[in-house]
Amino acid sequence: MDRQELIRLYYQMVLIRRLEERSAELYQQDKIGGFLHLYIGQEAVGVGVVSARRPQDHVITAYRDHGIAIACGLTAEEVIAELLGKETGCSKGMGGSMHLADVDKRFWGGYAIVGGHLPLATGLALAEKYRGTDTATICFFGDGSTNIGYFHEALNLSKVWDLAVLWVCENNQYGMGTAVERASAVSEIRRKAEGYGMANAQVDGMDVLAVRQATLEALERVRQGEPFFLEAMTYRFRGHSMGDPERYRTGEEVRKWQEGDPIGRFYDHLLKEKIADQAALEAEEARAEKEVEQAVRFAEASPDPSPEQVYDLVYVK
């Protein structure tokens, strides 16, 4: 990976972090409604995985979708505009935080019914298989969705039909407030894939380059026409959503994970390997800060969608 590409990954991770921090503020100011699930702490997973895809590979995820949207190339402007419910948002103000998408970038969206998008991923992959391409479908989901029927139906079908799906479990240790061990009979989640005879691996989800490398290797197998299961061990530094009392975990546990902050680790790596100096990385941080502020101004100045749009979009004409 060349220097420029590595710095681009750093920029994306910082951009996601700033965007999420700013979103939390906008939520507290009541400018963002509904639910808001922040990606802070998990940046290395989305950025690392998506950096390994080809542009035509499909990406689909659950409702904690801002970071993956940015990793897929959506701009901060269209993301924040969507959070503010504006016409200029990537989903025209119809979807909000949990339903970002940009089909031109092969980002098929965030889905808010836990597990509901896993069958969609099999369908995207089925279409590619039918057309005879080696395009992969990358499906992100949380540890919480591995206990629902959809997970098993989708994994099973992907194996039975030899579909090119990379299943990426973002194991952030909790399904809402319920720890993996309290919800899943098998707490090492990748082992669930073995029940379907599916190749699998576990990766340190706080190390962007490790995630990228594991994804590259997984995708190589996937393109041969078989599903692969990648479990990324990660942690969300904020609550499940805004307004989470966080009674289910200790401050000490959170602090321990924060010491392994994926952005801090990557920063150290870039300095240590002399890929970039401090000034260069600070310049990236300033650029991210600026992009987010510009995006907030853009979103706030954007018009609301019209009531006509709501009616027009019920059916394709």
Partner 1 sequence: MAIITMRQAISQALWEEMDRDERVIILGEEVGLWGGTYAVTKGFYDHFGPERVRDTPIAEGVIAGAANGAAMAGLRPVAEIMTINFAFLAMDQIVNHSAKIHSMFGGQIKVPLVIRTVGGGGRQLGSTHSQTPDVVFAHFPGLKVVAPGTPHDAKGLLKAAIRDENPVLFIEHATLYQTRGEVPEGEYLEPIGVSKVQRSGRDVTIVSYSKMLQVSLQAAEQLAAEGIEAEVVDLRTLRPLDMGPVLQSFRKTNRAVIVEGGWRSFGVGAEVAARIYEEAFDHVDAPIRRVAQQEVPLPYNRELEQMMLPQIEDVIRAVKEVL
Q: Which residues bind partner 1 (CB under 8 A)?
A: 58, 89-95, 99, 101-104, 108-109, 111, 113, 116, 118-128, 130, 149-150, 153-154, 156-157, 160-161, 310, 312-316
Could you give the CA distance from residue 139 to residue 229 in angstroms, rounded to a whole number?
A: 10
Find the shortest distance in angstroms from Cβ 149 to partner 1: 6
Local structure of 170: helix, strand or coil = strand
Question: Do 14 and 288 touch, CB atoms closer than 8 A?
Answer: yes
- In the complex with partner 1, which residue's Cβ is closer, 175 or 205? 175
- In the complex with partner 1, which residue's Cβ is closer, 10 or 151? 151
Question: Do 298 and 88 touch, CB atoms closer than 8 A?
Answer: yes
- In the complex with partner 1, which residue's Cβ is closer, 69 or 288? 69
Could you give the CA distance from residue 12 to residue 51 in angstroms, rounded to a whole number?
A: 10
Say which DSSP state 186 is in.
S
Q: Which two tokens stand for residue 268?
A: 């150290």
Find the shortest distance in angstroms from Cβ 126 to partner 1: 5
- In the complex with partner 1, which residue's Cβ is closer, 152 or 249? 152
**Sheet with 165-171, side-by-side order of all strands:** 107-110, 58-61, 137-142, 165-171, 228-233, 199-204
Find the shortest distance in angstroms from Cβ 74 to partner 1: 12
* Cα angle, residue 211 at apex, residues 165 and 270 outer, rounded to 5°: 150
* Radius of gyration, CA atoms only, the chain: 19
- In the complex with partner 1, which residue's Cβ is closer, 160 or 286? 160
Find the shortest distance in angstroms from Cβ 193 to partner 1: 16
Find the shortest distance in angstroms from Cβ 154 to partner 1: 5
Find the shortest distance in angstroms from Cβ 3 to partner 1: 35
Which residues in 54-93 are b (16+ Cβ under 10 Å) and which e? eeebbbbbbbbbbbbbbbbebbbbbbbbbbbbbebbbbbb
Q: Which residues 6+ apart lie within 8 Å of 125 measured at CB?
A: 58, 136, 137, 158, 163, 164, 165
Q: What is the dihedral of CA 102, 40, 240, 175, to 10 degrees?
A: 80
Find the shortest distance in angstroms from Cβ 131 to partner 1: 8
- In the complex with partner 1, which residue's Cβ is closer, 82 or 284? 82
Q: Which helix (H) or strand (E) holds 59?
A: strand 58-61
- In the complex with partner 1, which residue's Cβ is closer, 35 or 161? 161
- In the complex with partner 1, which residue's Cβ is closer, 121 or 292? 121
Find the shortest distance in angstroms from Cβ 141 to partner 1: 13
